[in-house]
Amino acid sequence: MSDVAPKPSDQRLERMPDIGCAPAGSPAERHLAELWESAPGWRGWLSTVDHKEIGLRYLGTAFIFLLMGGIEALIMRLQLARPDQTLLTPDQYNQLFTMHGVTMIFLYSLPVLSGFSNYLWPLMLGSRDMAFPRLNALSYWIFLFSGIFLYSSFPLGQGPNAGWFNYVPFAGLEYNPGPNIDVYALGMVLLGISTTVGSINFVVTLFRMRAPGMSIDRVPILVWGTLTASVANIFAVPSVSLAFFLLWLDRHAGTHFFDVINGGKPMLWQHLFWMFGHPWVYAVVLPAMGIVSDALPTFCRRPLVGYSAVALSTMATMLLGFGVWIHHLFAAGLPTLAMSFFGATSMVISIPSAVAVFAWIATIWLGRPVFNTPFLFFAGFVLLFVIGGLSGVMTAAVPLDFQLNETYFVVAHLHYVLIGINVFPVVGGIYYWFPKFFGRMMNETLGKWSFWVMFIGFNLGFFPMHLAGLLGMPRRIYTYAPNMGWNTVNLVTSIGSFIFAAGILIFLVNVAVSLRRGAVASANPWDAPTLEWATSSPPPAYNFAVIPLVASRHPLWEDRLAEGESRTRLKEGYLLMEGRETIGTTPLDAKPDIILKMPDDSYAPFFLGLFSALVFTGLLLDWRQFTILMLLASGLSLVVWLWPRKSLLQRVTSGKRAEGGFHG
Amino acid sequence: MAERVQLDKLLPVGSAGKRSGGWWGMWTLIVTEGSLFGYLLFTYFYLASQTEQYWPPEGPPLLWMPGLNTGILLTSSLFVWVCERCLASGRPRWSLASMAIALMLGMGFVLIQLNEWQKKSFDMTTNLYGSLYFTITGFHMLHVLVGLFILMILLIWIALGYFDHRRYAAVTIGGLYWHFVDVVWLFVFSTLYLFPYLDST
């Protein structure tokens, strides 16, 4: 499969890249801007493949879902604030807690991290874009459409209602005959496609798109976090997509996978769901831990303590994460040996997490912390991470799990983990990178207010849930009798959750105010060490006018660290401007080995996303011909997308020059 | 690791074989699709190990036609490989011919498999085994159809003269998918056709 060596004279097949500088305003820089900027107006909006634009869309959309999931939670907390409430019917409550879970887990926590990574990866790695810019656009569009798909059932009173874990037999046709479950099953298969193509993009980007010299031991921890999460997704998502699809077959085609009377096994659902579900827990926290590992040192004025240990513990967490799914099934009736083994692995997984925690504490301890808003969020996260981790170790103990299973203790644990390890770093991360995103600083006073209100509200709201669980309150009940002893804890929880929501509101006000009135940010307002801060704020469409040559882990701190003189070169290097180009490097030590031709903007990802969402709509409504038609339209979009390009020297049969030459 | 980066080096441009993004992307796709089949076969073995039904209900399947069909599928993979080699050595007509043969063999596999489906005395609603048999082979059939679609597009592109001995990464990458579909069949075949013999003895 090796290529025949091209004639050395053929510039289109092989060339020596131009080396030079392209300062702002120079003809070379203007040419780059022309090449990389999307068309103005709706055309550019629909066809753009710029990772920064897509990253911000991911962030914005995920935040809207966070708000929707939050409103659902608040309605539930109103219902649960006092005993014997009648605000909601049991069926409405079921739909609310299901959509709350689905929204927060699938439509907020992973997509929001994809948003950060999409925006930051190429900038942190010193590249002009992701490996597959069009795939990036596709993963966003499918994410958006599957969210709309899931939510469009809600106003019709047919929202999914069997919990985000959707256990059979309750989710089977016999007990749940409405379209609710079909919406969930099909919507999640669709969302799985988005996650998978997004993950493929991250993995290939890491291995191929790093700037020369950015060897694997120099990438930021956020990159490690998203990489391991993406690798996990590639292995784990098929499991749950299959489970959803088999469920849909059971409900629509009359198969018997989960149907006990004909030999099917409900436990199969639990295995397939949690083989995905548990690695997924780490997929939604590891990149967030990466955010902290990269941003926290900036505020401590020193590099992260134990970079290699943290990077390795990230991977170890993910590997172990595949070996613990059974701990969700302890109470379902399993052999003792299986429970012992999975109980033990579930406890072992706290070791790599502890490594990360100690690394953060040591970084704060040995540094000179500056107490800006992002620092507060990251430090608060460390505390919540410890509490969530401890309650996790408790539920990993089989006898305790028997006691705590299906109580509010578990609800408390998972909220400490997901809000503590996901929401706090995310909000802190937005405070941190806001100047890079929009070129303006966020307001510090409002920032500190938002942190303290969120932090106090969160602990006030969710800590008592542990107590409710220990007092025996089960999950997913829509109301309770007044004499159970749960009245006070529930009232406190409801009050706390509204205070927490007020904190989020202050944060959103801060975003809105700062977007217009924030102080104008310099390229590197926090004096941070990583490569994304070498670009202007916000970065130009092409990211880097010349591809940087990286010589250390902290390119912007080289002059002050023991490494001596600055060796990373940011001003002079590869120009690469015969069309949209960037450099491809070897997987481990990042030596340049190809000039990559990057794709132009295209409508194909939007239409492929739209048509595939319509395929699933057709399946839901049993419109066979429509489904087949949309399937063909999807195939057609893909062919248009992949049609051989002249700029890759495909379909150039005569001696014409490749398009996009620079003659400036 | 990389102390000095050498800049004055000739670099290939664009979509160059194993260095192209598409080649890497296809491998990651294969990993995730391979996992999908892994979970499918896990489902089969899990349910087979738990069931009290007679397994498979009509006894171990006959091997003659499915065995032949396996041979047909693997041969088509061989022709896709030949097609790529012919492009690499500058014989586009031969590559066109061998892609056409690969495509026809692939279609042959589909027809024989459809016939196998029709001969079964059960369908996917009859019993648990039927659900598994038709879902697993159905998933594979879906992948074969996608693969045939890819081969067809590649055939058109070769016929239009879009590739030559210097640029044919699309054929390498599309071919990779077809090889995957064929290799996965070996696992499906072993599970559904050979495993029952092992089990019944």
Q: Which amino acid is at A640?
A: V
Cβ separation A639–B153 shorter than 8 A? yes
DSSP H/E element including A20: strand A19-21
Give the one of B19, B89, B157 whose C-beta lies nearest to A594's C-beta. B19
Dihedral (CA of A405, A320, A216, A211) sign: negative
Sort A661 into a burial class: Cβ within 10 Å, 0-12 / 13-18 / 19+: exposed
Question: Which of B6, B10, B13 would you mutate first to test chain A, the one with the most A CBs within 10 A?
Answer: B13
Task: Give the per-residue pLDDT at A232.
Answer: 96
ipTM over 0.90: yes
Question: Which pTM was predicted?
Answer: 0.94
Dihedral (CA of A341, A342, A343, A345) sign: positive
- The shortest C-alpha distance from A462 to chain B (Å) reads 36
Our CA dihedral for A527, A532, A534, A536, rounded to 10 degrees, sits at -100
Q: Which residues in chain B have Cβ-Cβ distances shorter than 8 Å to A263? A: 47, 51-53, 127-128
- CB A257, CB B139: distance < 8 Å: no
Task: Give the per-residue pLDDT at A652.
Answer: 58
pLDDT digits (tens, 9 = 90+) for A516-534: 999 999 999 999 999 999 9
Cβ separation A131–B128 shorter than 8 A? no
In A253-306, which residue ranges form alpha helices assigned H by DSSP? 266-283, 286-300
CA distances from A318 to A201, A253, A348, A521 (A): 19, 36, 12, 37
Task: Give the per-residue pLDDT at B200.
Answer: 57
Question: Which of A569, A593, A596 would you mutate first to test chain B, the one with the most B CBs within 10 A?
Answer: A596
The overall longest dimension of chain B from CA atoms, in Å, is 69
Cβ separation A15–B8 shorter than 8 A? no
* Mean pLDDT to the nearest integer, B12-17: 79
Neighbours of B175 (CB within 10 A): 25
Length of chain A: 664
In chain B, % of residues over pLDDT 90: 76
Full DSSP string of A62-115: HHHHHHHHHHHHHHHHHHHSSTT--SS-HHHHHHHHHHHHHIIIIIIIHHHHHH
**A3 Cβ contact list (under 8 Å, min separation 6):** B12, B16, B17, B88, B166
Q: Which residues in chain B have Cβ-Cβ distances shorter than 8 Å to A593? A: 11-12, 19
Cβ separation B31–A234 shorter than 8 A? yes
Which residue stretches of chain A have pLDDT < 70? 1-9, 562-566, 652-664
Query: Could you tell me the two tokens for A182?
Result: 């079909």
Cβ separation A592–B9 shorter than 8 A? yes
pLDDT digits (tens, 9 = 90+) for B77-121: 999 999 999 999 999 999 999 999 999 999 999 999 999 999 999
Question: Which of B39, B46, B51, B89 would you mutate first to test chain A, the one with the most A CBs within 10 A?
Answer: B39
CA distances from A481 to A41, A81, A473, A478, B11 (A): 57, 12, 11, 11, 74
Query: Could you tell me the two tokens for A150?
Result: 């899931």
**A27 Cβ contact list (under 8 Å, min separation 6):** A664
- The shortest C-alpha distance from B55 to chain A (Å) reads 12
Instruction: Tell whether the model's pLDDT for residue B3 goes beyond 70.
Output: no
Question: Which of B1, B3, B5, B124 would you mutate first to test chain A, the one with the most A CBs within 10 A?
Answer: B5
Q: Which residues in chain B have Cβ-Cβ distances shorter than 8 Å to A574? A: 7
Task: Give the per-residue pLDDT at A581.
Answer: 92
CA distances from A593 to A132, A150, A474 (A): 18, 44, 58
Residue A633 dihedral angles phi and psi, to the nearest 5°:
-65, -40
The pLDDT confidence band at residue B58, using thresholds 50, 70 and 90, is confident
Give the one of B43, B84, B157 whose C-beta lies nearest to A644's C-beta. B157
For residues A145 and A308, what is the distance between their CA atoms, to the nearest angstrom?
39
Of residues B4 and B172, more confidently modeled: B172
Task: Give the per-residue pLDDT at A653.
Answer: 55
Cβ separation B131–A249 shorter than 8 A? yes
Nearest CA to A21 out of A427, A402, A577, A495 is that of A577
SS3 A559: coil
Length of chain B: 201
Cβ separation A649–B149 shorter than 8 A? no
Cβ separation A204–B125 shorter than 8 A? no
For residues B179 and B185, what is the distance between their CA atoms, to the nearest angstrom?
10
CA distances from A193 to A188, A429, B33, B52 (A): 9, 27, 11, 36
For residues A2 and B85, what is the distance between their CA atoms, to the nearest angstrom?
10
- CB B38, CB A275: distance < 8 Å: no
- CB A640, CB A3: distance < 8 Å: no
- The shortest C-alpha distance from B133 to chain A (Å) reads 11
- Tokens 């006070």 appear where? A488
